Structure formats: C-alpha cells, structure tokens
Amino acid sequence: MRPDVLYVGSTPQYFVDNHVIEMFNFVTRTMHRPTPHECNPLIRKDRPWEVVLYFRTNTWNVYWDDQETLYKCWYEDLAYDFDTFSGRKSDTHGLEAPGFHEVCDSRYLYAESADGVHWEKPELGYRDVDGRRTNICLGNERDGKAHAASFLLDEMEEDPSKRFKVIFWNERKDLADAINKVGYSPDGRTWTLSDEPVTFGGNSGRGTGDVIIVNRNRQTGEYTMDTRIAHMCEHPGGWSNPDVPGWGLPIHPNEPTRNARRRIYYAYSRDFHDWTPPQQIMTPDLVEDNLDDEYYGLARFRLGDLWVGLLNRFHRTPNTMSASLVYSRDGSNWHHAGQRQPFLAPRVDDPNAWDRYMAECCCQPVFLDDEIRVYHAGSNFHHDWWQFGFQEQMDHPEAKAGPASGETALGLATLRPGGFVSLDSDEREGILITRPLASRGGELQANVQCRNDGFFRVALLDVQGNELSGYEKSACDTFAGDSTGHVVTWGGRSALPAEAMSRGVKVCFYSRRASLYSFRIV
C-alpha cells in the first residue's frame, strides 16, 4: 500500500476536521447545535432533603447502563447555608470569602430512569435526613463531604465490584485541606471508598482544582482526566494595584505568569489512583477568544478516530457559561470547531428560561441508534453573583437572595446520529474528494440528508484521480432522501472493487442542496 494511502477500515469518517479531505468545491462546513428536549428541565430540586442542587461543569454525570437497561445520574447538592455565609466578611483581595466550604454540606445524590427523560430518585439507605430515607449515595458524617465528583461507568473493568468509579474532592474534619478520593461501586448506588491515596506525579494530597472530568481510552486502556491544578489562578508575583473587590483576580494579558485565567490540564493513569502530573493542554487565546473568556472544563469523548470535546467557557464579566465544540487527533493538541461558536448556549434573552445564564456539560453524550443525547446543566442564575455578591455589596437581586434567586437543573438536547458537523452544498453542485483510502469493507454507507429536491451521487477514483470502470458518477444511483446509513449503489450494485480498495481509492462525493455528515466502508 502506498504511503499516501490512509487505511480507514470500517471506522466512520467525520468532517469535524480536514483529515480525509483532498479537495472540495462549493461545500461549506456547518456545526449543528442540538435540539432542546421539550420536557426540560429533567432533574431539579423536588425533595425535602435537597437544599441547593449544583448542576455545573464539575458536579454531575449521566450514563446508560446496558446491563440494567437504565439511565443513571449522580448530582451534587451543595447544601449551602447562605444565611450563615452572608454574615462572613470577604477577603480583602476579592478571593472566595473565608469559610464557604465550611457552610456547605456537599454530598451526591442518585437518580435513575428507564427512558432518560422521566427520572426517579430511589431511597438508598446510605444517609437519612430528618428521619427520612434519601437518595444520597456519597457524603456523610463518616465519609466526609463530597464535592466536584466525576463518575465513570468503566466498561473495560473486569472486577464487577469496580464497574463504576468516582474521584472527588473529599473534606473531613480530620483534614486540613481537601484531598482527592476514589470510590468503587458495582451498580452506582452503593459505594466503597478506597484507602489507597490518590497521587499526581507521585505526590499525594489535593492534586487538582475543583473541576475533574474522567474518561477511559479504549485504545490504550488508560484513564484520562481533564482538570485544573490547585492554585491555578493565583498570581506568583503578588497583587495588582489598585485592588478592585470582586471574586477573581486581575489578568495581565502580556505577562504569562500573571495571565491568571482558568484553563485545561490533562493527566492519565493506568489504575485510577496514580496519575501523571497534570500538563496544560488548552488555554484561552488572547486574540481569538474574548478578553475575559476562561476555559472552565473539558468533557472529551471518541467520535470515529477523533477525540471530540465539549469545552465549557466562562464569560467572566457577564458571569455566564456556554460550551463549544473542540477536537483532537491525539488527545493533547486541541482545535476549535465551528469558529468557536457555542454548541450549547444560555438563553439570556428569555427571562423565563430555566437555562437563561448557564449551559454547560461534563459528561460524554449517550449514543443511540436513532439519536445522540447530550445531557447538560443549566441555570437561571449567574455563575457566582448569588454566591459571593452579598459580600461584595453587589447591587443585584441575586446578591441579596443567594440561592433562592434561582436554581441549577439537568437538561437534554439531541442530534441526529453523527450530527455534530456536516459538509453542505447549495445551488451550485458541490464536490468533495477524499484522500486515497483503503479498507477491506464491501460497501459504502453515507449519513446524508438531501433537501428541496437535492441529490447525492458518488464516484470512485484511482489514486491518479481517474474514475474506476463501473463506479463513475454517471453510473451511480441518485439519492434524494435522508438516511443515516444510505448504501451507495452503481446500477443497483453496492459491492466495492476489492482489489482497488486494497490499493487505495479516492471517494468523490457530488451533491446539490445536501448535507453529508459522515461515511464509512463496511
């Protein structure tokens, strides 16, 4: 096989980047935003023991458990005592007021659903509140507080008792500072905390900031963690003058050591306990991003042979959150899709929207045969005005009312299968030619949608660009419909030329008024 031939096997090829594209004309790339579900929000505060639910970038997860045929969700309750905290004096440099976590009784709750839309909160017997059994599954007097937890359904785990994993900030009375703690569960309901210390680069203690998002790389078996590092936003060179009160430090864009914006760090582990030292992989761009944009957290997942991620963005001055789409070929070097436009966006112009000020995500989508489910968090109050505005004497209703000014909740938005990005043609006939591709597959399938009497045809070319006999554009059966798995045929025949496919062929897509999402050779 020639060195310029790309072996793709049966892996779906998406158009998030230009990896398989050799040439195109009159096609444009479109990033598609998911459609909100009509039942949103799906999980919100509705139990007497729930105090301040905290659906944020770092505080919940949803998975589909095919063994129990259930959707499972874990979510944080800050149990935040605003009345006590609002009597505290803020730090003179505008940092988080002393004692915030002292007035939180952070714990995790569990919910489950047969359809992923209508959720139940089963009583578990782990922790009672005011004599009531609850759905609290993590965080009590014995185990301490649980904050910023990331849950993982580990389908590669051979030990059934460790099929579910969690890593979180653990605060206890006998600890001077929070530590990272790991727990295991056979079902996601009952948890056993490990006594083995969590280390980063061999060092124990709290090795992360308060955003932790874990996954597992099925190719290498390694656990991945996208996180922050402790003290990431502090200035090593001291404070700036004049000092302006407010929760957050001033930023010096031309001084790298004092450009104290939130950013993404990455670590990996073979055993979920011993992690590599976190390395910075994404930082806000001083030109392409807005002046006050910060990278809050990254939720990565596999899409074909790509890593794709939902990058949560903190818009610091308006105090809002959104999420954009990013991608990587190696999991370390990331690029922005869709011209950095939001994939999930708050509905700031709708005063009644449950997600008016924050829309964010911290778990991978659920991929079904007929749709992609993107579970996400939303909020109708701002990022932190309701938490720290009172101490700053901010003149805003949220500062005065605290958590009573709104709520965070869980929502759902959906895409067609493979529907993150498409290459679209319009009135002029579009053409797209791939690099030479090789595969042992016997037919070509396309995820394509034609509109307004549009059409879609395919030709196969040799590596010099000549049409293969029997696989010309003129021989291709025209498709004018909408299918996530259209089988391309030439004169009613779908079989691909095996010998040519082993050497490498270019696939030439022709279309008018059509959207091509992906293709695969199977």
Domains annotated on the chain, with CATH: 6-32+421-521 (2.60.120.260), 35-236+256-415 (2.115.10.20)
Phi/psi at 78 (nearest 5 deg)?
A: -65, -25
Cα–Cα distances (Å) from 434 to 391, 437, 459, 477, 512, in that order, read 58, 8, 11, 20, 18
* 325-335 pLDDT, tens digit each: 999 999 999 99
Residues with Cβ within 8 Å of residue 94, at least 6 apart in sequence: 243, 244, 245, 246, 247, 248, 249, 392
* 414-450 pLDDT, tens digit each: 999 999 999 999 999 999 999 999 999 999 999 999 9
- Cβ neighbourhood burial of 267 (10 Å; 0-12, 13-18, 19+): buried
* 43-70 pLDDT, tens digit each: 999 999 999 999 999 899 999 999 999 9
Average pLDDT for 224-243? 73
Count other Cβ atoms within 10 Å, centred on residue 5. Answer: 17
Q: For the whole model, what pTM was predicted?
A: 0.95
Query: For residue 450, what pLDDT is reported?
Result: 99
Query: For residue 89, what pLDDT is reported?
Result: 47
Least confident range from 82-86, 247-251, 438-442, 504-508: namely: 247-251
Q: Residue 329 corresponds to which tokens in the numbers above?
A: 């070929």
